[in-house]
Amino acid sequence: MKIYKYIGFTMLVATALATASCSDWNDWNDTQTMADSNPSADKTLWENISSRSELQNFKTILEKVNRQDLFKSNKFYTIWAPMLTDTQRDSVLALKDSVIIDQFINNHIAEYNYQATGIQENRIHTLNDKAYAFIGSNNSYTFNNVKLTQANIPNSNGTMHILASNSPFLPNAYQYIWMAEDMDSIAKYFKRYELTELDPSQSVAGPIVNGHQTYIDSVMITYNSMTNSMRARLDNEDSTYTFIMPNNEAYEKMYKTIKSLYKYKESTLGQNVADAASSTYATVTGTSNVEYLNFLADSLTRRQIVNNLAYSHYNRYNKAYFEDGNLSLDTIFSTYRNKFSEPDRIFDEEHIVARQRLSNGEAVIVDSLGFKSWETYNTSNVTAGIMPCRVLNGTPQRKMLNLSQIDTEKIDLPEGTTTFSYIQVPATSNFVKPEVDYYLTDVKSGTYRIYVVIPPADIDVDDQTEAILPNWLSFSMNYFNGTRLTDYQFTNERFDPNNNVITTYNATTGAEVKTTIDNKDFFNDPERVDTLYLGEFTFPYCYVGLTDVYPNIKVTCSTKFSTLASRGHTAAFDKTIRIARIILRPVDYDDYLKEEEE
């Protein structure tokens, strides 16, 4: 049975040899392009290793684990034979035989012929499935960053190069999760998602027994469903990653921070707004399974921690930042395809405990995760271009405008924007007040500042509306307070109690009517796309992952306006509700944006 595994290594060889890696080999400082001492071409690799005094410590290690036959066979190998001090030799001999073979001996051998000639820019796959750089030119070459002191020694069954010291065993990013110290938290989490399965395409099928396929030779593959979902092939030796690894302190700190956003309450209530025939709503009840809610909170929290730990150097922004040293770049992308600004904040040297070179990149161990919360685990919730879940006294229409249809003087569009969408709800008559309800999805147990974006009637250049008038609106929200459903009325921070009277005139008689407004009344600027600030609100409980249970916002044409309309006072305000966005922005993000504007 063949079993392919890529975990379970311990980086013992690198540790054992670390204290003796600066040996003085003054006689072997320059690379020689050909062996110039004895004729070796008709001898095996083993014979040549045995005959060279500088390789006797390496020979002793080979004999200890009975690997001589590998170099006596007819199979062709390239070997990068290390010169070792006695201290280095003894450190390796003290290890388990299996570790010596995999992390030391096989770390210096590759199948096929690799010559050090001309300009070398190869990535060599050694017998332990590692990939190391074999590079150089002009008689100066290195293998895995170790200098060749002599190159291209011919043998009857291979090619031998001599290294100034050992080629250090380098784990890949996935292997290193289990090797690094103080990584219990992240290691246990990734371990949950490790699976080993039969690969029928690589296995040799045998007879069918009792209706089941058997295999003469089975190939098992080990993979991790979590790293796959991160789009990070951390075990791939031909990839290059920068992998952020939070130590236990950083992991637990971030866990507590994120977990506070996933505070659930059993039997959370929500209004069944979508199926309401009038203003009376049925109630939707969330799950009462406390064990499930605890699992959901824990699962979502841990997932948020790991989503953005891996950065592939195949991304041009990442390559420029990590490899080319272009630290002026303000953007990098995780393998989870999230974009991050200010990468120097994420890779703040103050919080970097250590850096570990890997066979497929670098691990950066940190004692604090420097992500901006709004770019990772606490993003804004934006309801954009979505039809309301309920409309009363109006007919909803989705408007999608391209750039040629937009009056761009009324809106600052982000760079690259090609369309602008919003929902328009005209009243069914002059004597009713339209109202719309929107479900708010993915709301966490946190504090948000809530905004509504309202476009003017003439945002569409093709709109033939003659009078461009403001809306007179009110906003309320229904949410679960832990005991029952509660209505929350938003109040207008722009309200001026010293200027609280609106004067309108009857369109027929001209009679003047004065109406008192209060802080529940909101008016938009009809000359631009206006963002109304509704207020700051803390949701006591999380709704993420609950089935059909949401808080909801109601947008209503003012009752006072409807009363005026019934008297013929319709010319001062627009009864058509237009909603482009409802934004729930976390407080820390909102503060950050305001600081950027200053």
Per-residue pLDDT of 523-579, as tens digits, reads 998 888 899 999 999 999 999 999 999 999 999 987 666 565 555 555 678 888 999
Residues 127-168: pLDDT tens digits?
999 999 999 998 899 999 999 999 999 999 999 999 999 999
Those residues whose C-beta lies under 8 Å from the C-beta of residue 47, and which sit 6 or more positions away, are 155
Nearest alpha-carbon partner for 390 in 434, 422, 421: 434
Cα distance between the two ends of the chain: 67
Dihedral sign for Cα atoms in the order 541, 543, 545, 546? positive
CATH 2.60.120.260 in the chain is located at 381-597
How far apart are alpha carbons 291 and 295 in whole angstroms? 6
CATH code linked to domain 194-372: 2.30.180
Nearest alpha-carbon partner for 214 in 1, 25, 380: 1
Interaxial angle between packed helices 290-306 and 248-259, expressed in degrees from 0 to 180 and rounded to the nearest 10: 130
CATH superfamily label, 2-163: FAS1 domain (2.30.180.10)
Residues 371-393 as b/e (b if ≥16 CB within 10 A, e otherwise) read bbbbbbbbbebebebbebbbbbb
Backbone phi, psi, residue 488, to 5°: -115, 125
- 431 is written with which tokens? 């004597």
Mean pLDDT (the chain, rounded): 86
Among 183-187, 384-388, 422-426, 550-554, the minimum mean pLDDT is found in: 384-388
Dihedral sign for Cα atoms in the order 15, 19, 21, 27? negative
Nearest alpha-carbon partner for 309 in 378, 245, 239, 238: 245
pLDDT at residue 361, as a whole number: 94
Mean pLDDT in residue range 409-437: 79
Residue 406 DSSP label = B
Read out DSSP for 135-194? EEETTEEEETTEEEEEEEEEETTEEEEEESS-------HHHHTTTSTT-HHHHHHHHTTE
Mean pLDDT in residue range 359-375: 95
How far apart are alpha carbons 502 and 496 in whole angstroms? 12
Per-residue pLDDT band at 587 (split at 50, 70, 90): very high
**Domain 381-597 CATH class label:** mainly beta
How far apart are alpha carbons 36 and 216 in whole angstroms? 50
